[in-house]
Amino acid sequence: MTAPLPRINGDSRRHQAAQILREAIVTGQLKPGDRLRELELSEQLQVSRAPLREALRQLEQEGLLISYPYRGTQVLGVSQEEIEEILIPIRMTLERFAVKHALPTMGADELDELGAIVEDMRRAAAAGDTRSLSDADIQFHDRIIEQADQAHCRQIWDMIQPRVWAYFRRDADSHASLDEVVEQHEKYLAALRTGIVETALIAVDQHLTDVPGS
């Protein structure tokens, strides 16, 4: 490891271990191909092996780690090729489907909730807080998926969401300005506010093909 990881204190040790390791992966402190040794991690994080193993299993399910028999656990990266050829096409299919089902049920309250998330993004961008910006970004898209109320769409989104969040975090610095991320979501929200499905679908296409983007 290139730098010590923070120690864990208090409750929810599995959750804290997963958060620390997830952050280290998406920020590049832990690099693709790095091997994670349980004993070393346990000592660094000051956490016992049982919650650590649970955290490693969780990150493996999220697609951020991979385990090999007799070779241990390794970090998986999020490559630009994967983003462009796998994650974005899957997101495009899911979000177009979600918008078609969500928009007819979106009233002023739901649209204002999305607007409040965009305001959270604006504050995070102004503060240079890429983590909070990425969290709000995920929340924006998650809310649209939730509003669609389509079980299979939700299930697939939940499977890819951790890696989507990882590339949001990875690509935050690729924007000319963090305000650009906010502006992208303002345009998307403006299209949703029209209530016209075709207008919203065009906004989905534009939003998700703007790489780097979110």
- Architecture of the domain made up of 13-75: Orthogonal Bundle (1.10)
pLDDT of 168 higher than 80:
yes
Coil, strand, or helix at residue 132? helix
CA dist 14 and 201 (Å) reads 39
Nearest partner of 30 among 93, 85, 68, 76, judged by Cα? 76
CA torsion angle 100 102 103 105 (round to 10): 130
pLDDT band at 170 (very low <50, low <70, confident <90, very high): confident
pTM for the whole thing?
Answer: 0.82
Q: What distance in Å separates the CA atoms of residue 60 and residue 74, rounded to the nearest whole number?
A: 9
Residue spans per domain, the chain: 13-75, 80-208
- Residue 145 · residue 153 · CB < 8 Å: yes
Rounded CA-CA distance 103/24 in Å is 37
Exposure b/e, 83-119, CB count within 10 A at least 16 = b: beeebbeebeebbebbbbbbbeebeeebeeebbebbe
CATH for 80-208 is: 1.20.120.530
Task: Give the DSSP per-residue string, 7-72.
Answer: PP-SS-HHHHHHHHHHHHHHTTSSPTT-EE-HHHHHHHHT--HHHHHHHHHHHHHTTSEEEETTTE
β-pair type (65-68, 72-75): antiparallel
Question: Any residues with CB less than 8 A from the CB of 176 and at least 6 apart, and which?
Answer: none
DSSP 8-state symbol, 196: -
Of residues 174 and 14, more confidently modeled = 14
For residue range 109-157, list pLDDT tens digits in order: 999 999 999 999 999 999 999 889 999 999 999 999 999 999 999 999 9
Q: Which of 167, 174, 4 is nearest to 76 (CA)?
A: 167
Q: Which 3 state secondary structure label does DSSP give 74?
A: strand
What pLDDT is recorded for position 81?
A: 87
pLDDT in tens, 45-93: 988 989 999 999 999 988 899 998 878 899 987 788 888 899 999 999 9
pLDDT band at 211; cut points 50, 70, 90: low
Partners of 128 in beta bridges: none
